A = this chain, B = another copy of it.
Amino acid sequence: MGWIIAEVTVVPLGTASPSLSKYVAEVERVLRSFGLKTTLTPMSTIIEGEWDDVFRAIKAMHEKPFEMGALRVSTRITVDERRDKRLHMEEKVKTVEEKI
């Protein structure tokens, strides 16, 4: 119960440069310190775990750009949870690839 896959993007707004990789790298480092299963994609980070564990990590990720000087942060989260069977991120891709 409460096992979710969450896709997260944390974006600082009003930073002077259009490059955000410095922020994304630090946010990702924060996430990895939580020891959850994660995958970095070109548009987001995907996290798998219990709701409370995942959202504890997301709160720390959202906080990071402020610590780095940002004045505004936009964080986008999509949660996918299934109760009839536990979702795992590799299986979601594998199941689709097999059907294509």
- A-to-B contact residues, CB < 8 Å: 5, 7, 9, 11, 13-22, 24-25, 28-29, 32, 39-44, 46, 51, 55, 59, 62, 66, 70-84, 89-90, 92-93, 95-97, 99-100
Contact = CB atoms under 8 A, between A and B. Distances in A.
Contacts of A15: 13-14
A22 to B, nearest CB: 6
A74 B66 contact: no
Nearest to A88: B42
The 5 tightest CB contacts between A and B, nearest first, are: A14-B18, A25-B99, A42-B89, A18-B72, A7-B43
Contacts of A55: 55, 59
